[in-house]
Amino acid sequence: MASRWHRSPDADVTMMGVLNCTPDSFSDGTQYLDSTAALRHGLAMQQAGASIIDVGGESTRPGATPVAEQHELERVIPVVKALSQAGCIVSLDTMKAEVISQGIAAGASMINDVSALCFDPDSLSIVAGAQVELCLMHMQGAPDTMQANPHYHNVIDEVCSFFQQRLDICMQAGIPEASIILDPGIGFGKRLQDNLTLIRNIDQFKQRFGMPILLGVSRKSFLGLLTAAPVEDRELETAVAGAMATAYGVDILRVHDVTMQKRATTVASAINNAKALTTTPQR
């Protein structure tokens, strides 16, 4: 059974809207700490075209301070419950097993774990038992130290090797292959060139694993390194990166501004899917 998130050749990219219920996220910290504001924004992103709302209660930006489990639960569970009851497909961005368990009970149908279920040993069995969808992300190091001195000999091979190890473990635990999505982890223990190489080679991940690929480039620091734009003014850079990723075969884009990025990928998809014109040589 194929994943429902595989993009057909003539389809647009799936939008995952970012909903950070945190005080310290790099782009929109403090904006959606209040559950009512978070619900309103989540529904607005769905209306704008987001098929998935990704709710997080702990920032994973470089240098982020870990959040106590109870604080994370208080931030995300009411929002997950309200959004799922409103008919949204809710993804829960967390590394903690108890948050995963309570989030699934509240209505989350996807777990987006930046540690690929490595952080908490109990997460694997909880996800396997619940039969929810799962996004496995690659990260070198941990959020508080990952950008200190990342290094790779071959970033594509090393990320693929990590994915294969985690896929073997997940499927042995009973997590169906069709429920898994892969995320190469742009900005998570990566240098500028590593990020660019990963985006350019999305097709390699699809060819090697045959699974949907999720990409999170929205407003990230590597874009600022290229153009010197501040974090609050990187939607143009995000749109270009997302459009290029669309041409390379990405299935899901995790974005902050759903309206802007959906416009960009709609154009990118239309161009990418246009058939080449053929002409009869003149004699």
Q: Can you give the three-state secondary structure of the chain, one letter per residue?
A: CCCCCCCCCCCCCEEEEEEECCCCCCCCCCCCCCHHHHHHHHHHHHHHCCCEEEEECCCCCCCCCCCCHHHHHHHHHHHHHHHHHCCCCEEEECCCHHHHHHHHHHCCCEEEECCCCCCCCCHHHHHHHHCCEEEEECCCCCCCCCCCCCCCCCHHHHHHHHHHHHHHHHHHCCCCHHHEEEECCCCCCCCHHHHHHHHHCHHHHHHHHCCCEEECCCCCHHHHHHHCCCHHHCHHHHHHHHHHHHHHCCCEEEECCHHHHHHHHHHHHHHHHCCCCCCCCCC
Predicted local confidence at residue 216, as pLDDT: 97
pLDDT at 33 over 70: no
Q: Which of 254, 262, 263, 283 is catalytic?
A: 254
Residue 181 lies in a domain: yes
Residue 283 lies in a domain: no
Q: Which of 220, 262, 263, 283 is catalytic?
A: 220
280 vs 143: which has the higher pLDDT:
143
Residue 9 lies in a domain: no
Mean of pLDDT values over 55-74: 87
Sign, CA dihedral 138-144-145-148, equals positive
Predicted local confidence at residue 200, as pLDDT: 98
In angstroms, rounded to a whole number, what is the distance separating the alpha carbons of residues 266 and 263?
5
- Is 220 a catalytic site residue? yes
Predicted local confidence at residue 146, as pLDDT: 75
Parent domain of 22: 14-272
pLDDT 10s digits, 94-152:
999 999 999 999 999 999 999 999 999 999 999 999 999 999 999 997 777 778 788 89
Instruction: Name every residue whose Cβ is closer than 8 Å to that of residue 95 and which is 6 or more positions away in sequence.
Output: 58, 113, 114, 115, 119, 120, 123
Residue 277 lies in a domain: no
CATH number at residue 206: 3.20.20.20
The total of other beta-carbon atoms located within 10 Å of residue 210's CB is 11
* Token pair for 77: 């569970």
Task: Choose the weakest-confidence range: 35-49, 87-101, 108-122, 266-280.
Answer: 266-280
Bridge partner residues of 253 (DSSP): 15, 215
- Is 190 a catalytic site residue? no
Mean pLDDT of the chain: 92
Residue 265 lies in a domain: yes
Length of the chain: 283
pLDDT at 272 over 80: yes
pLDDT 10s digits, 12-21:
999 999 999 8
pLDDT at 278 over 60: no
Residue 7 lies in a domain: no
Percent of the chain's residues with pLDDT above 90 = 80
Predicted local confidence at residue 267, as pLDDT: 96
Residue 2 lies in a domain: no
Residue 28 lies in a domain: yes
pLDDT 10s digits, 217-230:
999 999 999 999 99
Predicted local confidence at residue 280, as pLDDT: 58
Mean of pLDDT values over 75-104: 97
Predicted local confidence at residue 165, as pLDDT: 98
pLDDT confidence band for 29 (50 / 70 / 90): very low
Domain count, the chain: 1
